[in-house]
Structure 1
Amino acid sequence: MRVAIAGAGAVGRSIARELIANGHQVLLIDKEPRSIKPERVPDAEWLLADSCEMSSLEEARLEHCDVVIAATGDDKANLVTALLAKTEFGVPRTVGRVNHPDNEWLFTEAWGVDVNVSTPRIMSALVEEAVTVGDLVRLFTFRQGNANLVEMTLPASSPYVGKPSGLIPFPENCSLVTILRDGQVYTPTPDQPVESGDELLFVCHADVEEELERLLNPDSHN
């Protein structure tokens, strides 16, 4: 897979190293000469250019990229990069870094962003996930399909403790994908019971999140 990353700062370089380690081809783009440090990621391609300029993206041959990651420290630049990548070069998948939480609402398909990554939101979700029991916590949003990855630590008061997951009437547009228990990851089967303290991960439509929480933890809505 060929991936272009706009923004060759610490974030962009870290992403590049991970992708290269996983066998992908990576191009790092940055308009600041001081950010061009090939010795930091020697296996990547490097391009001194402005990712908001059409001519720069043409030079980067963006039409041959499978993914474009807009990872600069400027939300405006990330939005423009994603929009150009999607509309002018037909890049199949775009990822946009959200630097300021107030701008998160802009990072949608309307601006060419398939997936947005908001560090403040991720950190707050992880804190909630670590300390809450019985509340549904949204961990990640999949822009395509308007679905979310959500988590609940099953409380002892849940009416479904000890019951097979196949007998739980989950809402439509909702799927239990993983059970985390005692440091182990389990792929749920219909006859596998859920237990108090299990971390249940679901992919579900935003419209059914409240219904799912009410089903598994009725006490939260009393």
Structure 2
Amino acid sequence: MRVAIAGAGAVGRSIAGELLENGHEVLLIDKAPTAISVERVPQAEWLLADACEITSLDEAALQRCNVVIAATGDDKVNLVVSLLAKTEYGVPRVVARVNNPKNEWLFNESWGVDVAVSTPRLMSALVEEAVSVGDLVRLLRFSHGDANLVELTLPPESALAGTQVGEVEWPEDTSLVTIIRGTRVLTPTQEDSLEAGDELLFVAAQAREEQLEDLLSVRREDATS
């Protein structure tokens, strides 16, 4: 997979390093000469250019990229890069960094963004995920389909503890994608049983989140009364 990253700061370089380790081709783009540090990520391609200019993106051959990541520290730049990548070059997947939470509402398909990553929101979600049991935590918002990646740690008193996955009537537009049990990551089957303390990851429509939380958190005495 070929990935172009606009913004060669600490965030962009870190993303590039991870992608390169996973065997992907990476192009880092930045207009600041001081940001071009080839020795820090020598396996990547580097381009000194303004990612908001069509001529620069032509030079980067953005039409050959499977993914574009707008990772600069400027939300306006990230939005422009996202829009150009999607509308002018037809890049299949555009991921954009949100620096100011007040601007998050702009990072949607209207601006060419498929996935918006807000660092403050992500940090908040990870804190909630670490300390919350029985509460639904939204980890990631997907721009298409109004769906979110959500997590809930199954409380010991949940009526679903000990129930097989296939026996649960999950809400519409909801899919259980992973069960994290201790150090294990499980791909759920119909025969797998849910256990207290399981971290359950779902892709769910936003409108179904409250229904899903109610289903998972219902207490045994409530279920039998």
TM-score, length basis structure 1: 0.95
For residues 160-175 of structure 1, the aligned pairs below 5 Å read 160-175=160-175
**Can you give the 5+ residue segments of structure 1 that lack an aligned partner in the other structure?**
none
Partner of 1:2: 2
Partner of 2:87: 87
Q: Deviations over 1:166-189 (max 9, x none)?
A: 111111111111112222222222
Q: Deviations over 1:80-110 (max 9, x none)?
A: 0010111111111111011111111111010
For residues 53-64 of structure 1, the aligned pairs below 5 Å read 53-64=53-64
Q: CA deviation at 1:191?
A: 2.2
Say yes or no: does 1:19 pair with 2:19: yes
Q: Match of 1:214, as an amino acid?
A: D
Q: Secondary structure at the match of 1:134?
A: coil
Say yes or no: does 1:137 pair with 2:137: yes
Runs of 4 or more above 4 Å deviation:
none
Query: What is the distance in 1 between the residues matched to 2:148 and 2:184?
Result: 23
State the Cα RMSD in Å. 1.3
Query: What is the distance in 2 between the residues matched to 1:3 and 1:94?
Result: 10
Q: Match of 1:4, as an amino acid?
A: A
Partner of 1:99: 99
Partner of 2:30: 30
Partner of 1:76: 76
Partner of 1:51: 51
Partner of 2:127: 127
Query: What is the distance in 2 between the residues matched to 1:3 and 1:143?
Result: 20
Q: Deviations over 1:110-154 (max 9, x none)?
A: 001111111111111111011011111111122222211111111
**Can you give the 5+ residue segments of structure 2 that lack an aligned partner in the other structure?**
none
Query: What is the distance in 1 between the residues matched to 2:67 and 2:187?
Result: 29
Q: Deviations over 1:39-91 (max 9, x none)?
A: 11111111111111111111111111111110001000000001011111111
Q: Secondary structure at the match of 1:3?
A: strand
Query: What is the distance in 2 between the residues matched to 1:163 and 1:19?
Result: 38
TM-score, length basis structure 2: 0.94
Query: What is the distance in 2 between the residues matched to 1:9 and 1:46?
Result: 12
| % identity of equivalent residues | 67
Query: What is the distance in 2 between the residues matched to 1:24 and 1:183?
Result: 27
Partner of 2:205: 205
Query: What is the distance in 2 between the residues matched to 1:39 and 1:146?
Result: 41
Q: Secondary structure at the match of 1:145?
A: helix
Query: What is the distance in 1 between the residues matched to 2:23 and 2:191?
Result: 38
Query: What is the distance in 1 between the residues matched to 2:121 and 2:32?
Result: 28
